[in-house]
Chain A
């Protein structure tokens, strides 16, 4: 008994010692830091890529940043006078979808242990708020690429500029603009229905997953759609994880809807795409679907998601000359289409340009420079407004709308988009929107 206790205690002490040794060893070489050959003369700009890694939002943040880093470093890095900075990306896995304090600790660790110079990313607003507090406490630039809520910047940058001047958002356009964009897309589809099917007042079914983020959208849509010359036939709110929504879709069909206006971020988007095609629901599908944006969507829906249409931050059309090459490279490298969190790509390039313009990586000077940036990226023309939010609109970042046509995700908007009288915008590479043939067959003779 006596020896037994001593041996267990000795073992315990040994394990603690090993852990301590490993801990001291790991401090200087965290394994989540991307490997770059650090020569004695080399200078490095350490960029923390923030996101829930292992989830599409975090992974695309990382992918976008990695692509930009590879390209910039291959071209010689960031030139600052006679110095060259190579970019080193540090994966900041925030676990933010599950724990806010975990996310904040990850950012703090990136500053204290990894000595990160600035941050890009962040997806969940509730976590991004305190993460950005830590960043500004340490005078670090935090460029949001993922979280859309306007309140991340409004009420902060404009109220206490000295403290929050380090915060920016490059993608996606904020939640208010996203709503506007989704109504524009709905209007485009309605115009197609009017023109091709001869229906003056298209009937719209609102189908949005039962989550709080789209609650305001449901309310606004019910008021706004009639004002746009359409009729709302009903609102359906399936669970975000529903595996069967055939009842809802059948009811939508029985209500005579011509268009389904949807907003689904969860797995229900797959269920929806599959059953919408499988049940041959005679209604066009438009709105926001996170799953629709992925390369594997059509396969996941068994091919039934064909003609489903969703807004996106990126598309295979030329908002600028960088848009299509970025889309193709991303697809080629990661076998996936870029989602809005891949805005890290443009963020890194924009920061590179800003550093080269001012010749320093000092956060304060960099924040001033970024605030006045006018940068053409794969997203479009990036200019920040008075609260450091990306400007949305014609001539700036507009976003895209992509539709699955003939097994490919193609950009269908902006295509002959007329935001003002006498103005028409078509991005090169965008193709016309197609009403699903079954919808035409169903409604043509009625």
Chain B
């Protein structure tokens, strides 16, 4: 059934027919092949961190973009993941793959704790409550400096891997896997329910769906993803400090997601992979680095209000007015239903 011919036709009709899919494929291939072209530790560091932050940003996108639970304190999950990983690694000497998973599980528990007040709150009120959690955790960290390292954080954590290339590949593989799984969830029937909760929670409840369960699940899942990112970060930088819980960290993830394209899952990945290296690139003009970056961000918001990913997709593809399938913008008629979709001016 899965003959070569079938595979070729599938590629031609389903995969290569849409530029956005080709871009994604090229991006993934590019990431995998990057170390073959450069061994520069600096470049590998930038892309490794971008992979970690992409997971973090996607976790926020899932919670806020898909389920509509706006969190202004998402650094909480990232920080908890990082701290738990660090403590487990240093105190119990557990291997990093285990500490990262266990750290993420602790972040899931945190997700549950944050999720409960979220059941009764919405919009800005929920945002303010979530904003308080990282501040509370920072207080707890300073309260037990012997255990948490206090202001200095916990350092001396084991490296993610012995070489920079290995660390890079771990981050890339984890990122691709987690993002794919999250994307699959959002396009599944559960994803539709999550989406519907954001649009009209009362209607979803009236349909007999237990929205409490779904909202708590969303918080846990988002916490898990952010926890994994935090764990990877802690092992990569070999430190987990209170800076991870800074308000800046929480807002950074929102900026990446909104500029990349909210409620898409791949949008935050685009946001991180464009903006994070761009900020690094700006080091060539250190005096104007932040100023230039801010101007670029403002221009992006102005010209691409739906986010970079959505803007590029809308430029390269168009939707069929009849069957709603997407087609490359050069096509005049839909590849599925052959309806007229473009008029040349």
Contacts and interface: CB of A to CB of B under 8 A. Distances in A.
B189 to A, nearest CB: 34
B286 A151 contact: no
Contacts of B152: 125-126, 129, 149, 151
B237 A104 contact: yes
A108 B239 contact: no
A242 B239 CA distance: 31
A26 B281 CA distance: 10
Contact of A3 (B46, B239, B345): B345
Given A32-B286, A126-B243, A23 B281 contact: yes
Contacts of B239: 100, 126, 129-130, 133
A203 to B, nearest CB: 30
Nearest to B290: A95
Interface residues of A, number: 43
Given A1-B344, A109-B283, A130 B42 contact: no
Interface in B242-258: 242-244, 246, 248
Contacts of B214: none
A351 interface: no
Contacts of A215: 142
B344 A113 contact: no
A101 B237 contact: yes
Contact of A91 (B41, B151, B286): B286
A330 to B, nearest CB: 22
Given A26-B284, A112-B41, A101 B49 contact: yes
Contacts of B315: 5, 8-9
A126 B238 CA distance: 11
Interface in B281-309: 281, 283-286, 289
Residue of A8, A108, A215 with most partner-chain B CB within 10 A: A108
Given A100-B237, A111-B42, A105 B49 contact: yes
30 contacts: A1-B343, A1-B344, A1-B345, A2-B329, A2-B330, A2-B345, A3-B345, A5-B315, A9-B315, A22-B284, A53-B286, A93-B286, A93-B289, A98-B246, A99-B248, A101-B237, A104-B45, A105-B42, A109-B283, A111-B42, A112-B40, A126-B151, A126-B152, A126-B153, A126-B243, A129-B152, A129-B239, A130-B238, A133-B239, A149-B152
Given A112-B43, A133-B239, 13 more contacts: A2-B329, A5-B315, A9-B316, A23-B281, A30-B284, A93-B286, A98-B246, A100-B239, A100-B241, A101-B49, A125-B152, A156-B156, A212-B142
Interface of A: 1-5, 8-9, 19, 22-23, 26, 30-32, 53, 91, 93, 98-102, 104-106, 108-109, 111-113, 125-127, 129-130, 133, 149, 151, 155-156, 212-213, 215
The 7 closest A-B pairs by CB, nearest first: A112-B42, A126-B241, A26-B284, A212-B151, A93-B286, A129-B155, A130-B237
